[in-house]
């Protein structure tokens, strides 16, 4: 039993660290195959990656995502997302789950994005966080929000900004336990109809090392996609493939962490 409690504490520390580096809230095996450089990608996972990017979605889309982090059943991570045009903008709903029976961290998200100008969009997300721990460790709950910006100065070039917890909120049960204030900044360039390159960096102001991610996507006939990427601090290599019929999108990805090992990922999306 003591082994489970120690593992639970380690999971809680890991979840806080991951959240602080903005890795914990993301979705989709498409960006997963590109080292999670997804801040400028317009798909249903924008509700988790950058809400401003939802503004480019023209049809209702529902998606499911799962990754078996480091091939441990205790560190499984799953997500659901739904995005739809609404009132001249786009609404998105997201849910994420991390952990196992003795420790679980959940996030419920509701967001809205709007294209404010021809080449500029903004999105806002309201989040509810729930951390459930076994034994006498107690549970944690919090409400927070995120803001995202997306600019397309040219047809092929996009710049994205994402800020989590801009007002430095804490958990309800412990006002001294602050949630991280985290920033993401990235850009992507479409060199042709087939080749997309994305670069992204992330940093939390509480002293965590900045993350740098670079991803490449090569598409064939707008159906088959091949992806790869690398993240540093820590180093992680990623690979992925995708198949898009127009209504159904199926993506697979694989990541190798220099310390923790392998993580397979899968996501499926359906456009109504």
How many Cβ atoms from other residues are within 10 Å of residue 210's Cβ? 12
Residues 195-223: tens digit of each pLDDT: 999 999 988 876 566 789 999 999 998 89
Among candidate residues 69, 94, 208, 106, the one with its CA nearest the CA of residue 148? 94
Residues 70-112: tens digit of each pLDDT: 999 889 999 999 999 998 899 999 999 999 888 899 999 999 9
Q: Domain with 6 in it: what CATH number? A: 2.40.160.60
pLDDT level of residue 114 (50, 70, 90 thresholds):
very high
Q: What is the mean pLDDT of the chain?
A: 88
Find the Cα–Cα–Cα–Cα dihedral 38, 41, 43, 46, rounded to 10°: 50
**Domain range for 222:** 2-271
Residue 208: per-residue pLDDT? 65
pLDDT level of residue 7 (50, 70, 90 thresholds):
very low
| pLDDT surpassing 80 at residue 15 | no
| 262 Ramachandran zone, left/alpha/beta (phi>0; psi -120 to 50) | beta
- Total number of domains constituting the chain: 1
Residue 193: per-residue pLDDT? 85
Tokens describing residue 183: 């920033």
pTM for this entry:
0.87
First to last CA, the chain: 47
| pLDDT surpassing 80 at residue 233 | no
Query: 231-235, long-range: CB within 8 Å, 24+ apart, which pairs?
Result: 231/35, 231/36, 233/209, 234/258, 234/259
| pLDDT surpassing 80 at residue 119 | yes
| pLDDT surpassing 70 at residue 25 | no
| Cα distance between residue 7 and residue 79, in whole Å | 23
Per DSSP, what are the bridge partners of residue 109? 94, 127
| pLDDT surpassing 70 at residue 10 | no
pLDDT level of residue 118 (50, 70, 90 thresholds):
confident
| 115 Ramachandran zone, left/alpha/beta (phi>0; psi -120 to 50) | beta
Residue 176: per-residue pLDDT? 83
Per DSSP, what are the bridge partners of residue 95? 80, 108
Q: 263 in helix, strand or coil?
A: strand
Residue 222: per-residue pLDDT? 86
| pLDDT surpassing 80 at residue 14 | no
DSSP 52: G
- Most confident by average pLDDT, 2-6, 104-108, 233-237: 104-108
Among candidate residues 65, 16, 6, the one with its CA nearest the CA of residue 263? 65
């Amino acid at each position: 039993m003591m082994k489970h409690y120690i593992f639970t504490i380690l999971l809680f520390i890991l979840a806080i660290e991951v959240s602080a580096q903005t890795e914990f809230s993301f979705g989709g095996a498409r960006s997963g195959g590109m080292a999670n450089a997804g801040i400028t990608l317009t798909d249903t996972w924008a509700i988790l990656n950058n809400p401003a990017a939802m503004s480019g979605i023209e049809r209702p889309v529902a998606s499911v995502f799962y990754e078996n982090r480091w091939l441990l059943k205790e560190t499984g991570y799953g997500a659901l997302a739904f995005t739809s045009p609404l009132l001249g903008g786009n609404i998105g709903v997201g849910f994420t789950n991390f952990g196992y029976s003795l420790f679980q961290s959940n996030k419920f998200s509701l967001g809205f994005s709007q294209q404010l100008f021809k080449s500029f969009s903004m999105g806002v997300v309201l989040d509810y966080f729930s951390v459930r721990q076994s034994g006498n460790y107690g549970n944690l709950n919090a409400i927070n929000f995120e803001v995202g910006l997306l600019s397309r100065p040219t047809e092929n070039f996009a710049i994205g900004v994402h800020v989590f917890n801009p007002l430095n909120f804490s958990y309800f049960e412990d006002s001294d336990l602050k949630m991280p204030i985290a920033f993401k900044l990235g850009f992507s360039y479409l060199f042709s109809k087939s080749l997309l390159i994305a670069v992204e960096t992330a940093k939390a102001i509480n002293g965590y090392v900045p993350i740098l991610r670079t991803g490449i996507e090569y598409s064939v006939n707008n159906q088959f996609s091949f992806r790869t990427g690398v993240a540093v601090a820590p180093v992680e290599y990623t690979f992925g493939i995708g198949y898009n019929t127009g209504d159904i999108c199926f993506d697979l990805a694989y990541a190798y962490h220099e310390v923790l090992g392998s993580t397979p990922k899968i996501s499926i999306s359906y456009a109504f």
